[in-house]
């Protein structure tokens, strides 16, 4: 077939499909060697001229393996993940799952290597070339000369070292943190011996076996975390003396944290001189956050820098970042004025001033341009659906737009911060890669790649976006609609509302196809309209927009989603007698909420991995948004879907991973039990051995099953 007449299959559209990657927009693997841009391809690494885009081969894969005299263990199979850790040295870091090497590509030789493999976690310091790793539950450090030191002896399933804690909340993604000089290692120790086991079952053995997860449910006993500091020079470990009492701050606030106060420790950062550790400490209610300083050599508490409190919750997500031109000042991110913005602080805790402000969100801090005294950020200042790159001058707070002002931009800075490569797209542009040089108040940009439309030969649906008012009558909500390619406004179409609705996520933005999920294209190809609305409670719209759902999850979200339904009702081409709803995780919770609270509106629903009752969800996330069941019994009762089981009228399919460690199976099973008792009839399907999301080709099977359910009962 040729022209625009090919039809999609899930093998092309779904990430687990065999043809998925062939229909992704063309891209480039890039990294920085100081201020030199490097194209890291499979077979070679090339320098890229930022003015012309011209590439010059630096070395090839064959070169690396010849210089390294690679055997089977050290053989490098591709160069796409090559890194250049030293801006002023001709050294490339390469490796595989079993080995890691530094190769001098001018001297043509390996200058350092290790052969660690099979660890639970691994963290390498470019400054000292020491590696921290976890093996068989114990934390080790091996120095640049290969000398190994075992830091722990009591590591186990109950005592976890050097790995992410607090269930990956509060921006935590790992458990080890090297100091800038590479001579000290901060690490987490998590005691979860007191946490209840959730009884997961492995069905693969001849007789099914118990494989329990540690799962602290809301209101129940949580784990305890401490932070250790290992010193390579002394080979000694000290632990930070937390929590501490009393705390003193520049504002004279001496409110104490007692020794039995449960505290979350997050956003660990080092001082530039590697002598002090800064950390944000949050109480269990998550409404009182303190930025504090400890002495690394002794673990001694030094002082509190600042404190933020809220009548709802404070959510620290970002470590402080010191200015590269002033070791005594740092940037702090906070949404205390209603939007996530940047604040300039002194190392002693004086808030010098707020650097950014306005009804928009700083989405990320990409780094610094020391020459211009600027911090480079991504924000949605130009439009709530966009992500654009700005330079913010720290001396005068002036902001300069560094990109073209359109779409979604994801940039990576060079070592000096004076250049960045920019991968961007917009609703009609699949992918563009540019490199930009920052020159005071102006920029110069060179295009490296403009990807063709990989769907050009296929019949493509119609993608649209717009706004409607939330249930409060004033707040703008953004929606996306996907229509069949042969859409006829005189016809009436079955329509599916796709929903997530929860915090830290959004469905609609100004990226390619308005961020449409590929399954929506598959449904449009089969003759459906798919509608997506980001309700209040979702991300990137400010504190009050997200916190509107506090202590009553699902309620405000449903009100806003029903505003979307009323919008659909106003469209003559939407068949309101054939309205479906689908979502996963929080979206599964929303799907069943809508099906049971508005049983005469939605005919068919598919709920994946649904939360049914927040008392069965984990401590950190659940208590942030709902408080504990003991503190908020009315809210938990109001949000529970167990009493709603009797209201189910339409066809509902519930799908879960049988071994889901995030939304444990107790949720779905309890709802089904309630439906049995109430005499209502949901359908149920499980994926044995799968977690919260179906991985690999199982995802293709999943989306075919979801589609078929709507085909059977909605169309």
At residue 213, φ and ψ (nearest 5 deg) are: -105, 145
The pLDDT assigned to 1 comes to 40
- The percent of residues in the chain predicted with pLDDT above 90, rounded, is 92
**Closest by Cα among 50, 41, 54 to 435:** 50
**Closest by Cα among 74, 94, 93, 187 to 140:** 187
Q: How far is CA 40 from CA 45, 47, 59, 78, 104, in A?
A: 5, 9, 10, 9, 16
For the ranges 258-272, 540-554, 588-602, the lowest mean pLDDT is seen at 258-272
Which residue is associated with the tokens 């400490």?
281
The pLDDT assigned to 263 comes to 86
**Residues 351-375, mean pLDDT to the nearest whole number:** 97
Pairing of strands 529-533, 493-498: parallel
Question: Is the pLDDT reported for residue 247 higher than 80?
Answer: no
41, two tokens:
């391809």
pLDDT tier at 2, thresholds 50, 70, 90: very low
Mean pLDDT score of the chain = 95
| DSSP assignment letter at 255 | P
**Residues 174-185, mean pLDDT to the nearest whole number:** 98
290 touches 307 (CB < 8 A)? yes
Instruction: Please give the distance of CA 342 from its chain centroid, rounded to a whole number.
Output: 20
For the ranges 372-386, 415-429, 430-444, the lowest mean pLDDT is seen at 430-444
Question: Is the pLDDT reported for residue 292 higher than 90?
Answer: yes
The pLDDT assigned to 120 comes to 82
The pLDDT assigned to 442 comes to 77
Report the C-alpha gap between 652 and 670 in whole angstroms.
15
Question: Is the pLDDT reported for residue 589 higher than 90?
Answer: yes
Write out pLDDT tens, residues 388-414: 999 999 999 999 999 999 999 999 999
415 touches 371 (CB < 8 A)? no
Tell me which residues are annotated as active site: 585, 660, 692
**Coil vs helix vs strand at 112:** strand
420, two tokens:
């960045």
Cβ-proximal residues to 565 (8 Å cutoff; 6+ apart), any chain:
497, 579, 598, 601
The pLDDT assigned to 441 comes to 64
| DSSP assignment letter at 713 | H
**Residues 442-468, mean pLDDT to the nearest whole number:** 96
Report the C-alpha gap between 380 and 382 in whole angstroms.
6
Q: Before 79, cis peptide (omega within 30)? A: no
pLDDT tier at 253, thresholds 50, 70, 90: very low
Q: What dihedral angle (degrees, nearest 10) is formed by the CA atoms of 231, 235, 238, 239?
A: 70
The secondary structure element, H or E, covering residue 290 is: strand 288-295
**Residues 194-216, mean pLDDT to the nearest whole number:** 97
| DSSP assignment letter at 60 | E
pLDDT tier at 256, thresholds 50, 70, 90: very low
Report the C-alpha gap between 26 and 154 in whole angstroms.
48
- One-letter-per-residue 3-state SS of 411-463: EEECCCCCEEEEEEEECCEEEEEEEEEEECCEEEEEEEEECCCCCCCECCCEE
Question: Is the pLDDT reported for residue 438 higher than 50?
Answer: yes
**Residues 131-138, mean pLDDT to the nearest whole number:** 94
Question: Is the pLDDT reported for residue 234 higher than 70?
Answer: yes
pTM value > 0.85: yes
pLDDT tier at 97, thresholds 50, 70, 90: confident
Write out pLDDT tens, residues 296-306: 999 999 999 99
Report the C-alpha gap between 292 and 302 in whole angstroms.
8
- The percent of residues in the chain predicted with pLDDT above 70, rounded, is 96
Report the C-alpha gap between 341 and 73 in whole angstroms.
47
Report the C-alpha gap between 172 and 375 in whole angstroms.
23
The pLDDT assigned to 245 comes to 35
463, two tokens:
């993608």
**Residues 341-358, mean pLDDT to the nearest whole number:** 97
**Residues 151-157, mean pLDDT to the nearest whole number:** 97
189 touches 196 (CB < 8 A)? no
Question: Is the pLDDT reported for residue 167 higher than 50?
Answer: yes
- Residue 659 CB neighbour total at 10 angstroms: 20
Strand order in the sheet with 326-334: 321-323, 326-334, 341-346, 351-354
Question: Is the pLDDT reported for residue 259 higher than 50?
Answer: no
pLDDT tier at 73, thresholds 50, 70, 90: confident
Give the helix ranges, DSSP H, for 467-533.
Answer: 518-525
Strands (E), 570-682: 574-584, 604-608, 651-657
650, two tokens:
């339409």
Question: Is the pLDDT reported for residue 124 higher than 80?
Answer: yes
């Amino acid at each position: 077939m040729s022209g625009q007449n090919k039809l999609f299959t899930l093998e092309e559209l779904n990430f687990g499909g065999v043809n998925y990657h062939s229909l992704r927009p063309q891209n480039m693997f890039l990294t920085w060697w100081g201020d030199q841009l490097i194209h890291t391809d499979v077979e070679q690494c090339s320098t890229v001229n930022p003015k012309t885009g011209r590439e010059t081969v630096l070395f090839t894969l064959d070169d690396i393996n010849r210089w390294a005299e690679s055997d089977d263990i050290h053989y490098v199979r591709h160069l796409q993940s090559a890194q250049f850790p030293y801006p002023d040295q001709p050294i490339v870091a390469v490796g595989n799952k079993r080995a890691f090497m530094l190769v001098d590509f001018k001297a043509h030789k390996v200058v350092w290597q290790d052969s660690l493999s099979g660890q639970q976690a691994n963290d390498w310091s470019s400054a000292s070339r020491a590696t921290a790793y976890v093996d068989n539950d114990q934390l080790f450090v091996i120095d640049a000369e290969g000398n190994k030191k075992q830091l722990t002896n009591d590591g186990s399933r109950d005592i976890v070292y050097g790995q992410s804690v607090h269930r990956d909340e509060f921006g935590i993604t790992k458990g080890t943190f090297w100091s800038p000089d590479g001579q000290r290692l901060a690490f987490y120790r998590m005691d979860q011996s007191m946490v209840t086991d959730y009884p997961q079952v492995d069905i693969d053995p001849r007789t099914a076996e118990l494989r329990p997860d540690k799962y602290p449910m809301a209101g129940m006993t949580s784990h305890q975390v401490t932070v250790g500091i290992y010193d390579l020079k002394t080979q000694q470990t000290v632990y930070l003396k937390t929590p501490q009492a009393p705390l003193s701050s520049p504002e004279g606030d001496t409110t104490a944290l007692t020794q039995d106060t449960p505290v979350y420790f997050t956003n660990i950062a080092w001082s530039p001189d590697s002598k002090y550790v800064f950390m944000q400490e949050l109480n269990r209610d998550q409404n009182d956050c303190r930025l504090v300083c400890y002495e690394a050599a002794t673990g001694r508490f030094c002082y509190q820098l600042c404190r933020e409190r809220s009548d709802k919750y404070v959510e620290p997500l970002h470590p402080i970042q010191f200015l590269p031109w002033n070791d005594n000042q740092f940037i702090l991110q906070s949404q205390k004025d209603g939007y996530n913005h940047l604040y300039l602080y002194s190392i002693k805790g004086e808030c010098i001033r707020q650097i950014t402000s306005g009804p928009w969100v700083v989405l990320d801090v990409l780094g610094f341009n020391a020459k211009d005294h600027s911090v480079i950020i991504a924000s949605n200042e130009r439009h709530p659906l966009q992500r654009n790159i700005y330079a913010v001058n720290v001396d005068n707070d002036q902001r300069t737009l560094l990109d073209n002002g359109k779409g979604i931009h994801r940039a990576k800075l060079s070592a000096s911060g004076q250049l960045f490569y920019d991968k961007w797209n917009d609703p009609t542009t699949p992918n563009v890669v540019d490199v930009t040089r920052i020159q005071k108040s102006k920029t110069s940009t060179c295009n490296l790649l403009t990807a063709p439309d990989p769907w050009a030969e296929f019949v493509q649906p119609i993608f649209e976006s717009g706004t409607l008012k939330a249930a409060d009558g004033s707040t703008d909500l953004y929606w996306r609609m996907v229509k069949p390619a042969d859409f006829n406004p005189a016809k009436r179409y079955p329509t599916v509302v796709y929903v997530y609705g929860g915090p830290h996520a959004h469905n609609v933005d100004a990226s390619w196809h308005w961020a449409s999920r590929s399954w929506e294209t598959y449904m449009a190809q089969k003759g459906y309209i798919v509608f997506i609305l980001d309700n209040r409670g979702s991300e990137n719209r400010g504190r009050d927009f997200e916190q509107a759902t506090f202590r009553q999850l699902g309620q405000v979200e449903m009100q806003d989603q029903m505003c979307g339904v009323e919008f659909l009702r106003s469209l003559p081409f939407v068949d309101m007698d054939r309205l479906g709803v689908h979502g996963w995780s929080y979206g599964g919770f929303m799907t069943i909420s809508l099906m049971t609270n508005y049983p005469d509106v939605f005919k068919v629903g598919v709920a994946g991995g649904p939360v049914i009752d927040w008392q069965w969800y984990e401590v950190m996330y659940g208590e942030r948004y709902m408080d504990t069941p003991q503190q908020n019994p009315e809210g938990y009762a109001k949000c529970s879907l167990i009493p709603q089981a009797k209201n189910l009228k339409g066809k509902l399919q519930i799908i879960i991973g049988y071994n889901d460690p995030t939304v444990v199976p107790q949720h779905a099973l309890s709802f089904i039990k309630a439906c049995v008792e109430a005499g209502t009839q949901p359908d149920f399907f499980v994926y044995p051995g799968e977690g919260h999301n179906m991985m690999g080709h199982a995802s293709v099977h999943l989306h075919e099953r979801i589609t078929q359910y709507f085909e059977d009962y909605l169309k």
